Every structure is written in C-alpha cells, then in structure tokens.
Chain A
Amino acid sequence: MKNENIIEVKGLRKIYKTGKLEFEALRSVNFTIAKKEFVSIMGKSGSGKSTLMNILGCLDTISHGEYILDGENVAGLSANRLATVRNQKIGFIFQSFNLLPKLTAMQNVELPMVYAGVKSSVRKKVAEEALDRVGLHKWFHHRPNEMSGGQKQRVAVARALVNKPAILLADEPTGNLDTRSTEDIIAIFQQLNKDGATIVIVTHEPEVAEHTKRTITFKDGQIISNEIIENQQIATYVPPDDWQD
C-alpha cells in the first residue's frame, strides 16, 4: 500500500557547530505530514522553524534522525541528488521572494523547468498557466523591480508550482507583505490546497495560521503542540483583475 505521508520526520536533530560551540537547533523532532494537508508552523523567533523548513526543503541536511520525503529517505543523499530532489519534489517560497532581478516574471517562473530539462515551448506554456493561476497574466514580461511585494510573492508561488512538486514549503511567505497582499497569498494557498496541493507554511501571525488546517508549534527546537484547527478561516479571494491596479 502506498504511503500517504508526504513527509515523515523521526528523531530529527540539527546541531550547528560554530567553532567549538555546538548548538542544537532541533531536538528530537517527530511528525508526519500527509498528502493534501495544509499545515502551519509557529513558534517564537529562534525556535527552529526556518531550520526545519530548510531541512524539509532539502536545502540543509540533518545531523541525526530520519527524513523521508515522498517515500524517499533523503538523509545522506549527495549534493547533486538533493538538487534534483529540490527541483522535482519541492516548491519553496521565501519571505524575501528570492526572484532573480535580471529575469522577467516569465523567465523566473521558467527556471525550475530549465533545470528539469523541459524544452522551451513547453516551459513557456506552463509558465504562462502558472502566472495566470496567481492572477499575473498581464505581468509576464515585467522584472521584479517593477512589481509590488504581493506581486513578487505571487511570481514566487507560480515558480514553486511549475514542476508539480510533492509539497509546497513557505517560510513566512507573508512576512514582508501588507494585509491585503497577505490575504491574497493565503487565498491562493487555500485554492491550491483545495486543488490537491500539500502545503506547509511558517508564520508568526495567528490570523494566517487560522487559515490552515493544522498548526505545529515549536519552542526551543522541540514541538510543544500539534493541533487541528477547528474552524478554518477562509480568505477572500479577490478576482485577478482587481489585483493589477
């Protein structure tokens, strides 16, 4: 029987070494995330949320324990292999957007497909669809510096989607956004989740967490609570045309 868990973390520890000092940022963390879940991760600053996200996103490696992503044990994979895993299975969304400033929205969205070896004509089509999906059909050829924060983050979401990843990981995706843009991004996440995407987001804001289906709370590198959200809030979906003012 196929495992329905996208993420399985067992006894995960992350130890940072700076000189002779050792710091344990994650201490024996265990949890699973099933397909089609929409999970928020909360916790005070320094509690290890980003550390966890980087590990889940295969950007960083674990010190001890097990991490099984979509049925594959990723602990101990080579750097090149991890890059391929990131490319194929993970859509990462950052607080600071991390778009390439010299590339247009289209080119930015195409990038993961370039690394996947998708041919140009297909790339264009898929990128257009993805940008359409986040309401940016008039912004294909604009560069990041011509866009608002909300628009940039929508480009980043489109970019995270194009290789049909197993999971979307977002580390404080609304941290740099105003309430209007935050609402838009959350609405997009809810829509994507409804369409079948598995999503994990880190957030400081309880209002954002209320829009997810489950919240895992960290403190000092450990999980202190793991709760299903009783009455999930629904973000108002503003039609795409209203976004481009």
Chain B
Amino acid sequence: MKKYIDSINSAINSVLAYKLRSTLTMLGIIIGISAVILITSIGDGVYRSIYAEMNEFNMSSIMAMARNMQPTIDIEDVSAISNLPNILGVSTVSEIHNLYFPLRGGSEAHRDTLIGLDHNYTMIENISMLYGRFFSEQDFINASYVTVITSTTSLDVFGTINSVGMNLDIEGRFGRFSPLVIGIIDFDEDSLSAFGTPFGQSFATMPATTVANRAGREGIFHQIQIILENPTLSMATSDQIARLLNLRHDTEDAFMIMSLTTVVDGIDAVLMAITAFITFVAGISLFVGGVGVMNIMMVTVTERTKEIGIKKSLGATGTLIRLQFVAESIIITVSGGIIGIIFGLLAAHFVANIITSISPLSINMVIAQGPIVISVLVSIFIGVIFGVVPAGKAANLDPVESLRYE
C-alpha cells in the first residue's frame, strides 16, 4: 500500500513540475466541464425561478380561445364552462388592437391595445386598486363606458397618478370614445403571470362587453380565463372545456386550451433540448480534451523513458509504473474538471445576473451538487480512459532499452 501512496505522490509532483503544459492539456476538459456546469446551473436556475413565480394562483389558471385567434366565444359558452366541475371562476377577455390614446398636453398619440375584461377578472389575477374601484357586474351587463387604467397610463395621459373621474380619449377604427376612469390599479411590471397579463400589455381596460360592442360583435369574446379549484386536475378539466366548446360550436378541434402546465412543459422541453445540445458539444470537447491528455501523456512517457528505465531497474513493477501514469492522467483531468466547475459556476453566476437584469425572470443561482459530482466522476473517468494507453506503454517499456534512452 505504502508504495502506491508514494507512487501517487510522485505523480502529483510530476504534474506540478510541468505546470504550463499540464494546464494547456486541461483546457479541453476545462471547457467541456464548465459548459456542462454553466448550462445545468442556468437551466436549473431558470426552472426554479419560473416555478417560484408560479404560485398556486396561476398554476390553477387556464385559458381558452379559438385556434384561429378570432373572437368566437359567447356569453353562453362562459356560463356553460362555469357549470363544469372543478371551475372556481370564469372571466371573459376581449381586445382591440391598434387604438390611439392621445396624450394630454402632447400631440403624440400612444398606439396600443384596449383590453376588455369582466368583473370576475379579480379572481384570475391579484389586483390591487390604488384609487377608485374595479368593474362591477353592472358595468359588464350594461356595457358601460368606464375604464380601469394602470398608474403608468394615468401618469402618461393625465400627468397625475389619480385620474379617477376624468375621461380617457381613445381613437381608432371604431371611432372616438371617451370612457370615464373609475379606477387606477397598481401594476407590478416584474410579476410574471400565466399568459402575459392583459394589464401588462394594455394601455387601458374596459368591460369586455363594451369592447365587443365597440368592435361590432356584440356578446362575442376572444378568450376565457378560467381559474380552477384543484390545479392538479388541470389536464382533465382542459379536455372537458375543449370538448364542451367544440360541441357547442359544432367544430372538431377549433379551440386551444392553455394551462400553465402546458407552458411549463414547453419551457421544460426547450431547456432540455438546449441542455442536451450543450451536453453533446461538451461531450465532444471532453473527448477532444481526453485525446489531448492521452497525447501529452504519450509525450511524457517518451520523454521520461530513462526515468522509467531507472525506476524499473530499481525494482518498480510495471503495475506500479502503470498506476503512477494513470494517477498522473487522473490528476490532470480532475484538476481540469475542478477548474471547469469553478469557471462554469462563475459563468453561470454572471449569466444569471444578465438574465435577471434583462428579463422579468429573477434567477437565483443554485449550486447544484448533482452536476458537480458527475463532473468530477466524468473527469476521473476520462483520466482513466485516456491514461491507460500511455500508462500501459510506460509499464511495458523494456528496462534495458529504456535505460539506454537519452
């Protein structure tokens, strides 16, 4: 045992003696491992942050709309859906794009989307009112000319946060109208919700009925937002909703039902594809790195032929020589692996900061132990695989020949 420990010691010394060469040799391993660590850490971070954003509230959200994106859903569809099991609340959404919102005091008009919602929308999304109130059932039934806007819109148009009681001018294909501002909501831009919050995209909201009327399609809406009682049954409920809508409209498969589960599955699939690709590229890099290690080990063995001959003449067995060179190879690859892990984590930290600063996702870097342990094991594996051939060459050198080597 003793002699094997001494042999490993001697391997460490050899690697240290050729620092620059050893480092260059490690490069392929470093790049490969850091790529894997980077992608797994980032993937994991993105995944976790998406999950963190998805509280139970929007996990239980479902959206239904026609596949052709045209407004097709009527008020009977809404009440039929609300009678299905596992439905907690239903809200209709209607929208008109490309409307103009002339800004007070400025000549420039703001071009944006008007979103129609109903009084039940507060069940779909947490809405905190800064001033005034949200739409009432009366507003919806009567298709009142009232509007709820965000504080940002209020500031843009009226130059004040509290514009309750004022009239918002809107112009477009469907004429000019000026609904009464009844409420200002506090909209948190950073919050990511299920499908891109209508509030987040819109300049103003009005009752869905008013918007539909304005667009000349009375009682016909774009989407239904549904909130479930039990989010774990979201798949089954989605199927039921689709079946019901197709039945009512006498269609085959004209509606799409989106739940957060499907969105997350989609993101999951993309992340997995990216991870698989990067892992593949990293695998190639590791292979190339391994071949590099083998190459340098071959050179090392040749250079140290004399040393090997001397050691053999003193009684070092081929087995011991083999062990020493395999150990040397493993030391190189594992050092490369550890440097790669450090670089990968640093890069992941850096990328996570960038993503956090440019996207609504806030990514918390988690140091995942799994990939780190696997990286170390892979490094050892590469060291062994690409070390055995050179080590075998060293072990099988003829003592007399190698002593004669200069």
Whether A100 pairs with B310 at a CB distance below 8 angstroms is yes
Choose from A60, A80, A100 the contact partner of B317 (Cβ within 8 Å).
A80
Q: Does B20 contact A (CB under 8 A)?
A: no
Q: Does A59 contact B (CB under 8 A)?
A: yes
Whether B315 pairs with A116 at a CB distance below 8 angstroms is yes
Q: Does A57 contact B (CB under 8 A)?
A: yes
A145 to B313: give the CA distance in the assembly, Å. Answer: 21
Choose from B3, B17, B318 the contact partner of A117 (Cβ within 8 Å).
B3
A126 CB, nearest partner CB in chain B, Å:
14
Choose from B6, B307, B313 the contact partner of A86 (Cβ within 8 Å).
B313
Q: Does B320 contact A (CB under 8 A)?
A: yes
Q: Which of A36-44, A107-115, A209-217 contacts B (4 or more CB under 8 A)?
A: A107-115
Given A98-B310, A114-B3, A117-B3, A60–B315 Cβ distance below 8 Å?
Answer: no
A50 CB, nearest partner CB in chain B, Å:
9
**Chain A residues with CB under 8 A of B396:** 79
Q: Does B19 contact A (CB under 8 A)?
A: no
Whether A115 pairs with B399 at a CB distance below 8 angstroms is no
Given A57-B313, A117-B2, A118-B2, A80–B318 Cβ distance below 8 Å?
Answer: yes
Q: Does B98 contact A (CB under 8 A)?
A: no
A240 to B6: give the CA distance in the assembly, Å. Answer: 32
B211 CB, nearest partner CB in chain A, Å:
84
Given A54-B400, A94-B403, A100-B307, A87–B2 Cβ distance below 8 Å?
Answer: no
**Chain B residues with CB under 8 A of A87:** 314-316
**Chain B residues with CB under 8 A of A102:** 13, 17
Choose from B307, B313, B316 the contact partner of A92 (Cβ within 8 Å).
B313
Q: Does A84 contact B (CB under 8 A)?
A: yes
B16 CB, nearest partner CB in chain A, Å:
11
Whether B317 pairs with A84 at a CB distance below 8 angstroms is yes
A110 to B316: give the CA distance in the assembly, Å. Answer: 13
Choose from B3, B306, B320, B400 the contact partner of A60 (Cβ within 8 Å).
B400
**Chain B residues with CB under 8 A of A154:** none
Whether A83 pairs with B403 at a CB distance below 8 angstroms is no
Whether B314 pairs with A112 at a CB distance below 8 angstroms is yes
Whether A59 pairs with B313 at a CB distance below 8 angstroms is yes
Task: Tally chain A residues at the interface, Cβ within 8 Å.
Answer: 28
A118 to B314: give the CA distance in the assembly, Å. Answer: 14
A95 CB, nearest partner CB in chain B, Å:
11
Closest to A110 in B: B6
Q: Does B319 contact A (CB under 8 A)?
A: yes
Q: Which of A59, A60, A80, A159 has the most CB of B within 10 A?
A: A59
**Chain A residues with CB under 8 A of B320:** 115
- Per-residue A-contact encoding for B4-34, CB less than 8 Å = 1, 0 else: 0010000001000100000000000000000
**Chain A residues with CB under 8 A of B316:** 83, 87, 115
* A88-138, CB < 8 A from B: 88, 92, 94, 98-100, 102, 111-112, 114-120
**Chain B residues with CB under 8 A of A114:** 2-3, 6
A54 to B398: give the CA distance in the assembly, Å. Answer: 12
Closest to B9 in A: A114
A80 to B395: give the CA distance in the assembly, Å. Answer: 10
Q: Does B119 contact A (CB under 8 A)?
A: no
Whether A83 pairs with B312 at a CB distance below 8 angstroms is yes
Whether A84 pairs with B315 at a CB distance below 8 angstroms is yes
Q: Does B214 contact A (CB under 8 A)?
A: no
Closest to A107 in B: B10
Whether A59 pairs with B399 at a CB distance below 8 angstroms is yes
**Chain B residues with CB under 8 A of A60:** 399-400
**Chain A residues with CB under 8 A of B310:** 98-100
A22 to B2: give the CA distance in the assembly, Å. Answer: 43
Q: Does B311 contact A (CB under 8 A)?
A: yes
Closest to B4 in A: A117
**Chain B residues with CB under 8 A of A117:** 1-3
**Chain B residues with CB under 8 A of A80:** 317-319
Whether A111 pairs with B3 at a CB distance below 8 angstroms is no
- Per-residue B-contact encoding for A151-175, CB less than 8 Å = 1, 0 else: 0000000010001000000000000
A121 to B399: give the CA distance in the assembly, Å. Answer: 29
B406 CB, nearest partner CB in chain A, Å:
9
Closest to A118 in B: B2
A163 to B313: give the CA distance in the assembly, Å. Answer: 13
**Chain A residues with CB under 8 A of B399:** 59-60
B273 CB, nearest partner CB in chain A, Å:
51
Whether B400 pairs with A88 at a CB distance below 8 angstroms is no
Whether A115 pairs with B400 at a CB distance below 8 angstroms is no
Closest to B406 in A: A96
A88 to B317: give the CA distance in the assembly, Å. Answer: 12
Given A54-B400, A114-B6, A159–B315 Cβ distance below 8 Å?
Answer: no
A57 to B312: give the CA distance in the assembly, Å. Answer: 11
Choose from A57, A79, A112, A120 the contact partner of B318 (Cβ within 8 Å).
A79
Whether B315 pairs with A115 at a CB distance below 8 angstroms is yes
* B306-364, CB < 8 A from A: 306-307, 309-320
B residues adjacent to A (C-beta < 8 A): 1-3, 6, 13, 17, 306-307, 309-320, 396, 399-400, 403
New A-B contacts (20) at CB < 8 Å, excluding given A84-B317, A86-B314: A59-B313, A60-B399, A79-B317, A80-B317, A83-B315, A86-B313, A87-B316, A94-B313, A94-B403, A98-B309, A98-B403, A100-B307, A102-B13, A111-B314, A114-B2, A114-B6, A115-B3, A115-B317, A117-B1, A117-B3
Q: List 9 A-B contacts (CB under 8 A).
A: A57-B313, A59-B403, A79-B317, A79-B396, A87-B315, A98-B306, A98-B313, A115-B315, A159-B314
Q: Which 8 A-B pairs have the closest CB atoms?
A: A87-B315, A83-B317, A115-B315, A59-B399, A80-B317, A86-B315, A112-B314, A114-B6
